[in-house]
């Protein structure tokens, strides 16, 4: 099971962060695409690509609204070429990137249309766009060296998915699915079976997909410090189960009440912050159920249960925004020395 990490890119620091992630043994580094809260994701990923040699790189995640599918495909393929085939195109329905410009998360139907177009562009196909035949023309520009997918492979599309309809859409169109449902093995097993069933129904071999999860995790000898480190991101990821249209009655009992509270009280002005009122309201028992937080002796068995499910990868969310630097350093050191060596996998998976 590969273990990657999602970190916030920093101006003049993104390359350094990427080198740090690679030296720590992470298989993948994701930078979020939220234009009002972070510098441009594709620029920062390009800097990361120049600073590393094995690390897989991608947005965690981009969306169908702030970037047209042709723009996203062109950016992802550019990164893929420049990095020697190390790009992952992570996509979702949109969250803070849309909220900060007064827009809402797109419908599942619109998201699935976006996925189909994105994949067509990435395969080098031509799409009819309002009567115009549209494709990435620079792939096969006349008189120039043609890029051959056989040399670098196709950019894999990875969908961040929470509910059954998005999971099913991902199973029909994507190469990779990253479940954003927390770290509980039973809830993740439901997500896995939902994806595999949808893949079979679509005529795809479920074994041809790669499955993973976003997991808020803090390795720290003080369990109270560890819980507080992930409190903000636990609230953020648990809220995904409460978005408009989500059926709360299908959720596990541990998540149902929390999702209802977050639907009513989540304050996007304090997105991902542990100090937010909606994050402080989370009980320790829920954090222990949804996230992985505590000393290494308690953390490693939790990851072993995820690997036993058959997950191919985990994207670790190693703490909330505004976390103290010494806590962040301890968390990342614990992941690098205590967790990753137990689960080191093959970085070059598609």
Does some domain include residue 205? yes
Rounded average pLDDT over 48-59: 98
Contact 66, 105 (CB under 8 A): no
Half-sphere exposure of 68 (CA within 13 A, CB side): 8
Does some domain include residue 333? no
Q: How confident is the model at residue 149 (pLDDT cuts 50, 70, 90)?
A: low
Does some domain include residue 97? yes
- Please report, rounded to a whole number, the percentage of residues in the chain having pLDDT higher than 90: 90
pLDDT value at residue 240 = 96
CA triple 76-328-299, angle to 5 deg: 90
pLDDT value at residue 344 = 77
Does some domain include residue 180? yes
Q: Which residue, chain included where needed, has tokens 């047209």?
A: 68
Q: Reply yes or no on whether the pLDDT at 176 is more than 50.
A: yes
Give SS3 for 257.
helix
CA 291 to centroid of chain Cα atoms: 15
Q: Reply yes or no on whether the pLDDT at 348 is more than 50.
A: no
Q: Is the dihedral of CA 60, 64, 69, 75 positive or negative?
A: negative
Rounded to an integer, what distance in angstroms lies between the CA atom of residue 46 and that of residue 48? 5
Does some domain include residue 285? no
CATH of the domain at 107: 3.20.20.30
Number of H helices, E strands in the chain: 15, 11
- The residue among 322 and 40 whose pLDDT is bigger is 40
Rounded to an integer, what distance in angstroms lies between the CA atom of residue 73 and that of residue 63? 12
pLDDT digits (tens, 9 = 90+) for 243-278: 988 999 999 999 999 999 999 999 999 999 999 999
Domain total of the chain = 1
Q: Which tokens is 82 given?
A: 């420049």
ω into 179 cis (within 30 of 0): no
pLDDT digits (tens, 9 = 90+) for 201-246: 999 999 999 999 999 999 999 999 999 999 999 999 999 999 988 9
Does some domain include residue 230? no
- The residue among 347 and 108 whose pLDDT is bigger is 108
CA 15 to centroid of chain Cα atoms: 20
| Average pLDDT of the chain, as a whole number | 94
CA 273 to centroid of chain Cα atoms: 18
Domain that holds residue 27: 2-216+295-324
Does some domain include residue 68? yes
Rounded to an integer, what distance in angstroms lies between the CA atom of residue 167 and that of residue 164? 5
Contact 321, 273 (CB under 8 A): yes
pLDDT value at residue 141 = 52
Q: Which tokens is 159 given?
A: 């969908």
Contact 69, 76 (CB under 8 A): no
Rounded average pLDDT over 131-157: 77
Q: How confident is the model at residue 140 (pLDDT cuts 50, 70, 90)?
A: low
pLDDT value at residue 264 = 96
Does some domain include residue 149? yes
Q: How confident is the model at residue 350 (pLDDT cuts 50, 70, 90)?
A: very low
Q: How confident is the model at residue 322 (pLDDT cuts 50, 70, 90)?
A: confident
pLDDT digits (tens, 9 = 90+) for 6-19: 999 989 999 999 99
């Amino acid at each position: 099971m590969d273990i990657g990490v999602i970190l916030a890119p920093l101006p003049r620091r993104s390359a350094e962060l990427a080198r740090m992630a690679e030296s720590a043994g992470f298989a993948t580094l994701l930078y979020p695409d939220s234009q009002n809260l972070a510098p441009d994701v594709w620029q920062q990923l390009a800097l990361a690509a120049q600073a590393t040699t094995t690390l897989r790189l991608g947005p965690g995640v981009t969306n169908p609204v702030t970037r047209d599918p042709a723009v996203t495909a062109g950016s992802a393929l550019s990164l893929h070429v420049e990095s020697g085939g190390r790009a992952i195109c992570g996509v979702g329905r949109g969250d803070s990137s849309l909220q900060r410009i007064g827009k809402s998360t797109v419908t599942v139907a619109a998201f699935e249309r976006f996925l189909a177009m994105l994949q067509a562009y990435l395969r080098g196909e031509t799409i009819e766009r309002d009567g115009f035949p549209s494709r990435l023309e620079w792939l096969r520009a006349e008189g120039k060296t043609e890029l051959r997918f056989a040399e670098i492979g196709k950019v894999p599309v990875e969908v961040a998915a929470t509910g059954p309809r998005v999971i099913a859409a991902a199973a029909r169109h994507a190469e990779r699915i990253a479940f954003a449902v927390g770290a509980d093995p039973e809830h993740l097993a439901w997500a896995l079976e939902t994806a595999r069933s949808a893949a079979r129904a679509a005529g795809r071999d479920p074994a041809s997909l790669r499955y993973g999860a976003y997991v808020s995790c803090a390795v720290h000898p003080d369990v109270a410090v560890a819980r507080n480190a992930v409190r903000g991101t636990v609230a953020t990821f648990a809220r995904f189960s409460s978005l408009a249209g989500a059926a709360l009655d299908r959720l596990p009992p541990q998540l149902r009440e929390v999702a209802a509270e977050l639907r009513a009280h989540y304050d996007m002005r304090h997105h991902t912050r542990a100090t937010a009122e909606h994050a402080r309201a989370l009980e320790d028992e829920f954090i222990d159920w949804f996230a992985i937080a505590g000393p290494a002796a308690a953390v490693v068995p939790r990851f072993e249960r995820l690997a036993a499910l058959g997950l191919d990868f985990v994207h670790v969310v190693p703490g909330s925004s505004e976390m103290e630097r010494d806590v962040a350093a301890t968390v990342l050191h614990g992941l690098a020395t205590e967790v990753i060596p137990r689960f080191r996998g093959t970085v070059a998976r598609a």
